[in-house]
């Protein structure tokens, strides 16, 4: 099979980084759908490996954690009992430093105790200093935080109450709920109440939904395969952390956090992919 040129790969990845779908990228670049999916898989694997190696011994001081919903193949209610392809509800756990805007890790899985434990273990392993951690009121978080940080964290929970909590979750996904109250709770350590918040990570998750076509609600652009979904998420975070300048800090999150010392562009990602593939 002929290898795409650097220019062709840069063109395709630039198109994908703007949030368009695979079919649209195929029409714009003139490359086949299979070619684009293969490039996305290669980019996703390389980006995941590079960030896993790079996001270590971080000195960030605050972290906010949340989850963002999507689905693979079909809605959860339509998944057959014998499905083994990972179809149905899919949650991506995300974390952000509200000061540097760095998103140091993520996990694609389910909204389960096992995934929360794995995600918090991964997050804790990347930090070099004690942090203030904020999450929402998801019940699995306190145990997962205790298991990962062994109490060496200033952890607070933001509990929100909504007027329409009686509605099914599937209905709440497509219309904003009305928040009636919120409560800040200290769980471990001595968190600063003024910084117990999930506002930054929720806004970052909104950018994810706008920046990846497969996260767009009420369309047929959803991910058809779990692996492709994971590759797209890994590539998104690489572009977010290293390539795109964040408007609030006037640089990239990776540079602001001291993880990178130069501004990446898409050709740098292609070069990194070639290096990782050797």
Which residues are paired to 95 by β-bridges?
65
- According to the model, what pLDDT value does residue 77 have? 94
- According to the model, what pLDDT value does residue 165 have? 57
Residue 48 phi, psi dihedral angles, 5° rounding: -65, -45
Task: Give the pTM.
Answer: 0.92
- According to the model, what pLDDT value does residue 171 have? 53
Q: CB of 23 within 8 A of CB of 33?
A: yes
**Which residues of the chain have a pLDDT value below 70?**
1-2, 164-176, 179, 277-278
Predicted confidence (pLDDT) per residue in 90-132, tens digit: 999 999 999 999 999 999 999 999 999 999 999 999 999 999 9
Interatomic CA distance for residues 138 and 127, integer angstroms: 22
Q: To 10 degrees, what angle do helices 226-238 and 6-17 make?
A: 90
- According to the model, what pLDDT value does residue 181 have? 75
Q: How far is CA 223 from CA 1, 128, 193, 218, 229, in A?
A: 26, 35, 39, 13, 6
- According to the model, what pLDDT value does residue 164 have? 64
For residue 197, what is the enclosing H or E element? none
Q: CB of 51 within 8 A of CB of 234?
A: yes
Q: 26-34 long-range contacts, Cβ below 8 Å, gap at least 24?
A: 31/4
Predicted confidence (pLDDT) per residue in 21-39, tens digit: 999 999 999 999 999 999 9
């Amino acid at each position: 099979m002929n290898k795409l040129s650097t220019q062709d790969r840069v063109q395709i990845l630039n198109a994908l980084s703007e949030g368009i779908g695979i079919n649209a990228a195929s029409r714009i670049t003139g490359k086949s759908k299979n070619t684009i999916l293969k490039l996305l898989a290669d980019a996703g694997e390389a980006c995941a490996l590079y960030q896993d190696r790079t996001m270590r011994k971080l000195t960030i001081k605050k972290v906010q954690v949340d989850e963002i919903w999507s689905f693979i193949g079909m809605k959860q209610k339509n998944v057959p009992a014998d499905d083994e392809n990972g179809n149905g509800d899919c949650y991506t756990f995300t974390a952000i430093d509200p000061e540097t805007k760095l998103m140091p890790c993520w996990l694609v899985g389910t909204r389960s105790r096992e995934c929360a434990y794995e995600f918090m273990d991964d997050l804790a392993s990347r930090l070099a200093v004690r942090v203030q951690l904020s999450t929402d009121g998801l019940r699995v978080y306190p145990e997962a935080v205790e298991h990962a940080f062994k109490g060496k964290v200033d952890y607070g929970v933001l509990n929100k109450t909504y007027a329409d909590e009686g509605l099914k979750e599937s209905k709440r996904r497509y219309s904003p709920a009305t928040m009636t109250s919120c409560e800040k709770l200290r769980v471990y350590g001595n968190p600063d109440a003024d910084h117990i918040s999930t506002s930054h990570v929720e806004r970052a998750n909104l950018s994810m939904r706008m920046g990846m076509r497969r996260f767009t609600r009420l369309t047929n652009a959803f991910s058809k395969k779990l692996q492709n979904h994971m590759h797209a998420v890994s590539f998104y975070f690489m572009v977010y952390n290293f390539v795109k300048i964040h408007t609030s800090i006037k640089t990239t999150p990776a540079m602001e956090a001291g993880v990178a010392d130069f501004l990446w562009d898409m050709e740098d990602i292609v070069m990194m992919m070639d290096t990782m593939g050797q």
